[in-house]
Amino acid sequence: MIFIGYDDNYQMQYDNCIKSIGEECHPTPFIDIEGSTKFTVSRFLIPEQTDYKGWHIFADSDFIFLEDINKLYELINEEYAIMVVKHAPYQVHSNKMDGKTNSYYDKKNWASLILWNSSHPKNKVLTKEFVKNTKPIDLLQFKWLDESDIGEVPAEWNVLVDHHDISNAKALHFTNGVNNEQYASYINRL
């Protein structure tokens, strides 16, 4: 299953992300805890939502996929609990989408695209109760896992627009916001 971060404040981004994927996607499960979006924390409920079975993809709604998202499944390695693009530290803009304050933290944007191994024993801790009682920053930094539990996805699957070279991108992540000509030009091609 493919899950896209859902926040009704960002319906346009959600719809455009799904349009770029071109197939059925599911919104993230609902939990009454918010961070910068309504799905900041809810993405961590995907293993529970999928009965702790199988591999699933999560992406923030401000992604535009230029390549078939299903190719991510070809990267699966069963030894890992999750697989992500391990972005190197970078200078963040002081504001992001809709002028919200942006700050850097360890593993910044790693959780924006996740290949979830819902069957992995370490992900069974991710119950609604656990997620509600864990600091969002600890979830975003995958604190319930050891570093050896986190596999790597090639960087072209989570290219941070305005931070990285986009020439070989398979997925563009408009983490600084979508109110720009570059986002509009990609949407017009869908």
Q: What is the pLDDT of residues 90-137, one digit of tens each?
A: 665 555 555 555 565 578 799 999 999 999 999 999 999 999 999 999
Sequence spans of domains, the chain: 2-189
CATH architecture of 2-189: Alpha-Beta Complex (3.90)
The reported pLDDT for the residue numbered 180 is 82
The mean pLDDT of the chain is 91
Give the C-alpha separation, 91 to 18, whole Å: 29
Give the C-alpha separation, 147 to 83, whole Å: 11
Q: What is the pLDDT of residues 159-178, one digit of tens each?
A: 999 888 889 999 999 988 88
Give the C-alpha separation, 181 to 179, whole Å: 7
Strand order in the sheet with 82-84: 26-27, 2-4, 55-59, 113-117, 82-84, 150-152
Q: What is the CA radius of gyration of the chain?
A: 15
Answer whether residue 41 shows pLDDT above 60. Answer: yes
The reported pLDDT for the residue numbered 26 is 96
Answer whether residue 139 shows pLDDT above 90. Answer: yes
Judge contact between 115 and 55, C-beta under 8 A.
yes
The reported pLDDT for the residue numbered 170 is 97
The reported pLDDT for the residue numbered 129 is 96
